[in-house]
Amino acid sequence: MSQIIRIGMDTSKYIFQLHGVDASEQVVLRKRLSRKAMLEFFAKLPPTVLVIEACGAAHHLARELGRLGHAVKLIAPQLVKPYVSRNKNDGR
């Protein structure tokens, strides 16, 4: 598997959708995880950049993932629109 340099995370109450790319911006990771499985997944992953839409729970999540060594970037909700494909608002 290519080295993941950046992961975008779509958050919800119970399920997290991950989308990871390598240095050439090719998709190398698409994963749907529960909250518990997500923290276990990131504990095993080498430090990388995570991008999360800012919301109430995102700040807590950013602190938890930061403790695992990852660099977390929160982006404003109005700046997320360019990254949405097919007008879907969830990870399905």
Q: How many CB atoms are located within 10 Å of the residue 38 CB? A: 21
Q: 6-83: which CATH topology?
A: Nucleotidyltransferase; domain 5 (3.30.420)
Higher pLDDT, 78 or 70: 70
Averaged pLDDT, 62-68 = 94
Let me know the angle formed at the C-alpha of 35 by 33 and 36, rounded to the nearest 5 degrees.
100
Coil, strand or helix at 67: helix
Q: Give the pTM.
A: 0.81
Kindly give the pairing relationship between strand 6-10 and strand 49-53.
parallel
End-to-end CA distance of the chain: 23
Cα 91–chain centre separation = 11
For residue 45, pLDDT over 80 is answered with yes
pLDDT score recorded for residue 11? 85
Averaged pLDDT, 15-40 = 92
pLDDT score recorded for residue 92? 53
